[in-house]
Structure 1
Amino acid sequence: MTLKTVSSVLPLGFKASGLSAGIKRSGKPDLALFFSESPCVASAMMTANAFKAAPLVVSAQHLAASKTRALIANSGNANCMTGRKGLRDAREMTASVARQLALKKEEVLVASTGIIGKPLATDKIKAAVPGLVSSLSVKGFPSAAKAVMTTDTFAKTASLQAVIGGKTVTVCGVCKGAGMIAPRMKMATMLAFCFTDALIEKAALKDALACAVDDSFNAVTIDNCMSTNDMVVLMANGRAGNRMIKKGSPEAVRFSRLLRQVCICLAKMIVEDAEGATKFIEVRISGTATKPQAKDLAFGVANSNLFKCAMFGSDPNWGRIAAALGATDSRLKQEDLRIKLNGVYVFNNGRPVAVKDRGLLKGRNIVVDVAVGRGKSGATVYTSDLSYGYVRINADYN
């Protein structure tokens, strides 16, 4: 399947907008809207955190009750652990958009990101919604992407196209996240919204999203801290006019690959933009009996603070990696273990290997390859180093 990269292109029938509603004291954009001219089949994956934010509760209810037409998202306030008022505020956000677009409130999803435990300024949001709606545009994707940023240093978007079912299908996505990133969605502070003009049945859409998330947003970790607000949403309006994509069909496989590439691109951007990061680290595990086993080992390494500190110092300390692996799975055997850093063996066949290149890890990109000799499966996880900058940002977040 040939994939075509397209810059900040919304699929057919979608519009977006973003502006400042005054939620952030800085005056930066903090309110985004995504809208489909046609009803969408939609699916979402949400954080496994027990203290789910009010917007997630409301969006889950709306997804179960109706097709979807719009999604409103704010940054600067998480609307989490805010009690009944938080639920009322989230519902009022969807109702405000519904009134302006002549929709049912159940057709509108809602998302929030920012500081936990503070009341949401719904009066400011309601006052901004008419302008948000009037500025909806097929060229509004970049503005909307900027409006969902918190500690992000750049807007994260990706768009790809491929021919599926006889028509060109577009998938685009936007995400935010730079810290408080840890997976386990059934996910990071992370929001991701994906849109497609593919004609696809809901069962196929749901399967495609689950597969894409497993290899992307559920394969990144910055600080092993799971957020209360994480959500990935996928909306499909069918405007491409392709043959219906059905679960288990070759077209479903092609669509799943397209979505997976968009999500991996976005997930890597999160790691590239990790708070205070100086390194982009790829941890690749091979030789396990199953993929989940490989993923557990990869996360064991990627979430080790000692490993991350070593990478910040460009120190090829393979002992940090071995210790993390052994702590994750006690069945591993030293004599089966092989470790490479940027393609160079540092531990092989049960023995350390002297590193002659003192500049081996001096660059920004680091690849850790680990073979454990227990099977033929593998997995990859993306992470960053742990720097002084990360501590400074999070010591003064509030």
Structure 2
Amino acid sequence: MSEHLFTVVEGGSITTPKGFKSGGLHCGLKKTERNDLAVIVCDVPATAAAVYTMNVFQAAPLKVTRESLANGILQAVVVNSGNANACTGEQGESDAYEMRAATARHLGIDENNVGVASTGVIGELLKMNCVRTGIAELPEKLNDGAVGAEEFCQAILTTDLVKKECCVKVLIGGVEVTIAGAAKGSGMIHPNMATMLGFMTTDADIHQEDLHSLLREATDVTFNMITVDGDTSTNDMLITMASGFAGNDTLNRLHPDWDAFAAAFTYVCQTLAKSIARDGEGAAHLIEVIVQGAVNEHAARAIAKTVVGSSLVKSAVFGADANWGRIIAAVGRAGVPVSPERVDISLGSIKVLTQSMPVAFDEEEALAYLQGDTVLITVILQDGDGSATAWGCDLTYDYVRINAAYRT
């Protein structure tokens, strides 16, 4: 990714792109006083696109958002945490539609231009009395600065320890365009649209078809390349809205600055995805797996995701154990062609395997490396030019503790 094509905006947020406001509040869905209801609004109907979970059981808000997005336009997204509104039958669907209608009414916009997102416990009906009151109060919370963005980010968190944000600027035909994103995700994270809610904003003027295809492409190499625990949620959704307020020439794939915009957009996705992996429930380490020399990109992705998702590899990282045997075993069960006699593996800069044969290394040096914040595992094959990177986290005692008592 060519980072020189764009500039990271320190302190930027989803309201940094022109034309966007956001806000959040506590309406009573969470047992604590943390924010649990939020909205992001564009000043005008925005060009929009979304990708959704691959789970067969899809929560009611996804159905509503798909309908709203049928024309490629959104002006607002209302989101709640503390309750997923998933597997809740006809009542759950009715509640999601009511959330859409109430948000549109209180914002004074077209109901069909409102998306709905939810995250939290599966199988419980929403406390709609709380939601109705909260939605009525949301317009007063709207802000186009840091306050609104902060309230929004806090409202979408569940077991997350930190908010996830990213913002960049890129020149398109000499005009400054901003792209930003915010996300939540910590547990029930697995490739096929990681388990998360993500919201991206940009003030670019861009064709809807190109925005949609770029979102899918960026998701494939970022959000679909992270895993925490191997579970894919019922509520995953990533939405992007473009206000067009930057004033650039309309972007499409033939535009001379398309590559720069695509690189900037993908960078925001990657930053958010890595933040989710780093904040995995109970995690102490971020794990990054780079695979090179696979027969093709598909094979490289499969191997990278298998290694980073291995419970044994994750446990070894937690224990700072340089057990490369677990890594090569994961490579071999990824379900893609591999030449078993010519695999190289490194932990950071420490080579532990060459041509599938062990290499003597300093155990103390490896211990010190594995105790660091980020662990890089590099797998080099000799089968082709396919490459991929995946991200995950270690498996700790706290992961079991958090999920053993999730509902309580």
Where on the TM-score scale, by shorter chain, does this alignment land: which range? Answer: over 0.9
- Tell me the distance in 2 between the aligned counterparts of 1:35 and 1:253: 28
The residue that corresponds to 1:193 in the other structure is 199
Check if 1:265 corresponds to 2:275. Answer: no
Work out whether residues 203 and 247 of structure 1, in 8 Å CA contact, stay in contact via their aligned partners in 2: no
The equivalent of 1:8 in structure 2 is: 12
Q: Partner letter of residue 268 of structure 2?
A: V
Letter aligned with residue 255 of structure 1: F
Go from structure 1 to structure 2 and tell me whether the alpha carbon gap of 1:183 and 1:329 turns closer, same or farther (over 3 Å shift): closer
Specify the alignment match of 1:328 in structure 2.
Answer: 334
Which segments of 5 or more consecutive residues in structure 1 lack a partner in the other structure?
A: none
Give the structure-2-normalised TM-score: 0.95
1: CA distance, partners of 2:73 / 2:372: 47
Q: Which of 252, 269, 280 lines up with 2:286 in the alignment?
A: 280
Residue 85 (structure 1) shift:
0.6
Cα distance in 1, alignment partners of residues 205 and 213 from structure 2: 15
- Compare 247-256 and 365-374 and name the one that shifted more: 247-256
- Given residue 327 of structure 2, which amino acid in structure 1 is its aligned partner? I
Residue pair 1:66, 1:107 contacting (<8 A) in 2 also:
no
- Cα distance, 1:279 vs structure 2: 1.1
Shift of 1:66: 5.9
Instruction: Please tell me whether the aligned partners of residues 72 and 208 of structure 2 are also in contact (alpha carbons under 8 angstroms).
Output: no
Deviation (angstroms), 1:333: 2.4
Offset of residue 166 of structure 1: 2.5
Structure 1 residue corresponding to 2:305, chosen from 293, 299, 307: 299
The structural deviation recorded for 1:254 is 1.8
Question: Offset at 1:154?
Answer: 1.1
The correspondence for 1:370, drawn from 379, 388, 392, is: 379
Q: Can you list the C-alpha shifts for 1:293-338, whole angstroms capped at 9, x where unaligned?
A: 1000011111111111111110010100111111114642232110
- 1:6 is displaced (CA, Å) by 3.6
Q: CA deviation at 1:356?
A: 1.0
Task: Say yes or no: does 1:100 pair with 2:109.
Answer: no
Per-residue deviation, residues 342-376 of structure 1 (Å, max 9, x unmatched): 11111102310122142231212110000111001
Specify the alignment match of 1:387 in structure 2: 396
| Equivalent position amino acid for 2:176 in 1 | T
- Residue 144 in structure 1 maps to residue 156 in structure 2: no
- Give the Å deviation of 1:131: 1.6
Match of 1:125 among 124, 127, 131: 131
The answer on whether the counterparts of 2:39 and 2:79 sit within 8 Å (CA) in structure 1 is yes
Contact preservation (8 Å) 1:341, 1:367 = yes
Report percent identity of matched pairs.
40
Give the Cα–Cα distance (whole angstroms) in 2 for the partners of residues 248 and 120 of structure 1.
46
Q: 1:179 aligns with which of 187, 192, 200?
A: 187
1:7-57: CA deviation from partner (whole Å, max 9, x where unpaired): 134210100001001110112100010000011010000001000000001
- 2:231 matches 1:222: no
Pick aligned residue for 1:40 from 30, 38, 46? 46
Q: Is 1:158–2:166 an aligned residue pair?
A: yes
Q: Distance in 1 between matches of 2:46 and 2:80?
A: 21
For 1:108 and 1:165, how far apart are their aligned partners in 2?
Answer: 31
Counterpart Cα distance in 2 of 1:97 and 1:150: 22
The answer to whether the aligner puts 1:238 opposite 2:266 as a matched pair is no
Partners of 1:96 and 1:329 in 2: CA distance: 48
Between the aligned partners of 2:309 and 2:31, the Cα distance in structure 1 is 33
TM-score w.r.t. length of structure 1: 0.97
Q: Residue 297 of structure 1 aligns to which amino acid in structure 2?
A: I
**Cα separation, partners in 2 of 1:330 and 1:61, compared to 1, 3 Å:** closer
What SS does structure 1 have at the residue aligned with 2:190?
coil
State the SS of the aligned residue for 1:48: coil
Could you tell me which runs of 5 or more consecutive residues in structure 2 were left unpaired when the two chains were aligned.
Answer: none
Matched, 1:134 2:140: yes
Question: Which one-letter code corresponds to 2:196 in the other structure?
Answer: M
Q: Distance in 2 between matches of 1:66 and 1:276?
A: 38
| In 1, Cα distance between equivalents of 2:338 and 2:18 | 51
Q: Tell me the amino acid that sits aligned with residue 393 of structure 1.
A: I
1:316 equivalent in structure 2: 322
For 1:95 and 1:252, the matched residues in 2 are separated by 36
Deviation at 1:288, TM superposition (A): 1.1
The AA in structure 2 aligned to 1:372 is L
Report the residue type matching 1:389 in the other structure.
Answer: D
| Secondary structure in structure 1 of the residue aligned to 2:152 | helix
Alignment check: 8 A CA contact 1:211 1:256 kept: no
Residue matched to 1:68: 74
